[in-house]
Amino acid sequence: MQARRASRELALILFSQLDKNLEKYKTEDFSTIVLKSVRTLVSSSADEVSHCVSQLNELKNQIIDFENNHEDNLSRPIDCDNIPVAIPLTSDFEAKIDVMLQAAEKTMSALDIAELCTLSHQEDVQEYVMTLCSTYQNHKEEIDKMISEFAFGWDIERIFKIDKDILRIAISELAFVKDAPHKVVIDEALELAKKYSTDDSPSFINGILARVVEKYV
């Protein structure tokens, strides 16, 4: 995970914790909220992985019991090792395989969060998170006006908060920070939408950001 990408994701996590009264926050508040949020993510991820490991152990025990109690092994002398037996793909075992797949996905997610946690302590990452947040804080009315202008048929108050926050971060970069290529900013905004929001969000966000670039950048 690149530093800037981590900064954008951490900024999104930070934005999710802020209320509308942005003026009351200071840089120290932003830093504290990011740290607490990342710790919460890591803890939640660890709990999910632990739960998945428990389910995998349960599946392993079920398979062992199935082999032990199979008629081919029950008829063998007690001092002989079990012979392998075919496991029927019943709906129960299929469900357990799904658990294994989910465990793999959660493990990958946990690794991603662990990397994000590590990067959150890097000075350049922290500085860029603060830049994104303070930029939006200083240009809130202008940025939200751009969103309203191009969110055809949508009241800004009715747009999903996660989508608004992704847009706010991207527009802060595009229109005010101006420290990264437009394509990179937009592509990473779309990746955040795919990761955290609905299936329709990437196209919605892409449309607004394209119009912002065309008119204001």
pLDDT at 110: 67
Cα–Cα distance, 86 to 78 (Å, whole number): 20
pLDDT at 176: 95
- The confidence band for 111, taking pLDDT boundaries of 50, 70 and 90, is low
Nearest partner of 172 among 202, 204, 212, judged by Cα:
212
pLDDT tens-digit map of 156-171: 778 899 999 999 999 9
User: Cα separations (Å) of 163 from 4, 102, 105, 146, 178?
Assistant: 19, 26, 24, 14, 21
Q: What percent of the chain has pLDDT over 90?
A: 31
pTM beyond 0.85: no
**Which strand (E) or helix (H) includes residue 26?**
none
Token reading at 189 = 């905004």
Residues 6+ apart with CB under 8 A from 34: 10, 13, 14, 120, 126, 129
Tell me the average pLDDT of the chain. Answer: 84
Residues in the chain: 217
Residues 81-86 have a mean pLDDT of: 87
Residues 6+ apart with CB under 8 A from 40: none
- The confidence band for 150, taking pLDDT boundaries of 50, 70 and 90, is very high
DSSP per residue, 84-152 = P-PPP--HHHHHHHHHHHHHHHHHHHHHHHHHHHHHTTSHHHHHHHHHHHHHHHHSHHHHHHHHHHHST
